[in-house]
Structures are given as C-alpha cells and as structure tokens.
Amino acid sequence: MMITSTTVLAILSSAIASPIPNMKRAGEVQGFDISHYQSDVNFESAYDGGLRFVYIKATEGTDYTDPKFSDHYTAATDAGFIRGGYHYAHGTASATTQANHFAEHGGGWTNDGRTLPGMLDMEGSCSGFSDAWVKEFNTAYHAKTGRYPVIYTSPAWWKDCMGDSSAFVDTNPLNLAHYASSAGTPPGGWPYYTFWQYNAASEFGGDSDVFNGDLTQLKKLATG
C-alpha cells in the first residue's frame, strides 16, 4: 500500500503532543544514522542497548555509492533493526537521476515491515535547491518505490535554502536535525517531526535519533 499524507498523520497523530527531550523515557524509540565514516559498528550491541532503527548512507549525488552500505545494511538486518538508506543530495545535479540512483543502490523500499522509506539528506550548499527540485526528486523516487522520502534537514538550512517552504508537509515525513535539549518548532509548516536527530555522538557511532512515536507506529511507517 502506498503511503499518503493521511496515512502518515494517522500513524503519528497520537505522538505529536510535545517534543521529546534529549533523554530516554518510556515509550520512545531510539535509533541512529551512520555512513562509511563509522566503519565498524556493533549492531548487536546497539540493539541490546535499546536502539531499534537505523538510517544508513547509501548514495550521494548522481553516481556515488557508500562503500560500507551493503555491509552495514546486512549487519543491521541480521541484528533485528528496522532500517533504511539515505541519500546526500546535490542541488546542482539532476534530481531525477539522483532519485533513480538512490532507489537502485540501497534506497529502495519493500513492504516487509522492516524497511523505512528512503531519506533525502538536505544540508550543505543551498545551490540549486528549490521546491521544483524536491518535487522532481519526489516524483522520481515515488515512481520507483511507491513511497515518498523522509526529508532530513535543519530549521536554519530549510529557511535559508528553501525559503521555509511548506510544500512538502503532506507528502514527506520530517527528520529534524536540531542539537538541543528539546526539538523546538519544526520548519516549513510541518506540525511535528517524525524523527529527531538530537546529537552527533551516538555511543554506538554516528548520530543519535529518536522516533516520534512507539514501536508499533514505527513498524507501520515501515509497512506503508
């Protein structure tokens, strides 16, 4: 089943009352995100430590594939994680080409209850990015997978580079990059975040993330 804005709202509506603080508490779902910079991740220890999801860098630009993606993805799967790939976007290159490259090299999606929709990492240079660019990426990625990607961004970047656009509230879940004790107000008119990256120092490597809901809701997001 394809995910729609209505589906996303239904999945997460019970989890949006307040920001999740930078501490563990009952009911929240912790995770992390990694790339080849974290070459030796002990996924079993991470799972035993309470983490339940991971986003793994798959691709960048039009032709780069992360050299550790396959190893990381296999190990995360074996350890029991709900997992997905992410793509580091280049605004000056074709959005369609990047979406296809991503979907074909780790960013795809299957309705297995364990695969998260791919994540579009939007940070760095503003050059080339616009609503039209993201809509083109959305269209191509959706054609390949039947899902719309999660958008990863910070409030400052989204305001500076995308004019605080609210064009994607109804299609793309938000992974909010905000290193603070509370998530604050999401940019772009999103009424809540789906994921919150709250620091860059996970004890298991990479960045620390939390899902804005319980494990059942996370599995529903993975199911579509």
Residue 44 appears among annotated catalytic residues:
no
**In the chain, what are the domains?**
29-223 (3.20.20.80)
The predicted model scores a pTM of: 0.88
Residue 33 appears among annotated catalytic residues:
yes
CA–CA–CA angle 103, 81, 138 (5° rounding): 25
* Active-site pick, 28, 60, 66, 121: 121
CA–CA–CA angle 13, 14, 16 (5° rounding): 70
Give residue-wise pLDDT tens across range 80-105: 999 999 999 999 999 999 999 999 99
Q: Which of 67, 35, 30 is CA-nearest to residue 51?
A: 30
Q: Which of 170, 153, 145 is CA-nearest to residue 4?
A: 170
Query: Rounded CA gap, 30 and 51, in Å?
Result: 5
Give residue-wise pLDDT tens across range 150-201: 999 999 999 999 999 999 999 999 999 999 999 999 999 999 999 999 999 9
- Residue pair 137/100 in contact (Cβ under 8 Å)? The answer is no
Torsion of CA 182, 184, 189, 194, to 10 degrees: 0
Q: Which of 161, 89, 170 is CA-nearest to residue 131?
A: 161
* Active-site pick, 71, 123, 170, 214: 123
